[in-house]
Structure 1
Amino acid sequence: MNRVADISSVVAGLLQVVEQQQQASATLTPELLNSLHLIHGQSLTNALDLIDRRKVVKLVSSSGRWVYQVTGSSGTPYICLPHSIFCQCPAFKFSVLKRRDSVICKHVLAACISIAMGGVEEKSVSDEHMKAILSHLY
């Protein structure tokens, strides 16, 4: 296995533990938060802030297509694709793709943790709106 696959497996495993702890006690233990912080560093703090401020929304079209919209700290909404590490933000392009010093950006991390904790707000959008969103991804 390569380094990226190893880290991705660890991240996926930690997110499963987040989900299990949320279901069992509705809290995240300090040990789990420390483990997440070891991998994500400051991105975890930033992601948790986005979650606390309810900036993660699941946009669902009438035909059933869906994406996550995470509004960043600057107020810019970014689209995160389901089951993917893709995000439109500059940090994804620079830190994840170019420098490879981050596994995922804070927006994707916020979406993943929100999903695992079962706290994602859903918003219905038209198929036309979803088409416009998807056509502007790059």
Structure 2
Amino acid sequence: MSTPGLGHVVQAVVSSIDEDNLEEGIDKLRALFPDTTLLAALDLVDRESVLKFRTPWGGCHYEVLGSTATYSVFPRLGWSPDMSCYCTCPAFAFAVLMSESHLMCKHVLAVHLAEQFSKCVEHSIDDNDLLARLTSRVQ
């Protein structure tokens, strides 16, 4: 991300949204994201396309079912001040990493929103299955 810390602003805005102030929260997100990204993220949440895999050791892995592929999403990278999230989709590589024109892609935003609204489709996964899922994304 071109501006360190904005990922935390997005997370704070998303965390402040609840059913009582949904419209106000969406308006705040419109100040941070293009309408196309915001509407696409909300659509992914509505279609229950955000998958959350819980590991036996308490970790989580997220995947988002896109229109053409399934993408691995890492919504909170604590190790880098310049990049607070990551997605394996081409839009993230181009719009976030290369051109720095977006804070995050629709898939990362969808994960944040799905978590806030308790709309993740949850599954349990063991370490071998998680490894298989992750390695299948890079082949």
Normalised-by-shorter TM-score class: 0.7 to 0.9
TM-superposed CA distance for 1:32, in Å, is 1.8
TM-superposed CA distance for 1:82, in Å, is 4.4
**RMSD, matched Cα:** 2.1
The aligned residue for residue 33 of structure 1 is 26
Counterpart check, 1:124 vs 2:129: no
Q: TM-score, normalised by structure 2?
A: 0.82
| Structure 1 counterpart SS, 2:104 | coil
Q: Quick one: distance in 1 between partners of 2:5 and 2:71? A: 27
* 8-17 or 93-102: bigger deviation: 8-17
Verify the 8 A CA contact 1:68 1:80 in the aligned structure 2.
yes
TM-superposed CA distance for 1:52, in Å, is 0.6
Counterpart check, 1:73 vs 2:72: no
The aligned residue for residue 83 of structure 1 is 76
Q: Quick one: distance in 2 between partners of 1:9 and 1:63? A: 26
The number of residue pairs the alignment matches comes to 130
Cα distance change, pair 8–64 in 1 and its aligned pair in 2 (3 A): closer
Q: TM-score, normalised by structure 1?
A: 0.82
Structure 2: segments with no counterpart, 5+ residues: 78-84
| Structure 2 counterpart SS, 1:35 | helix
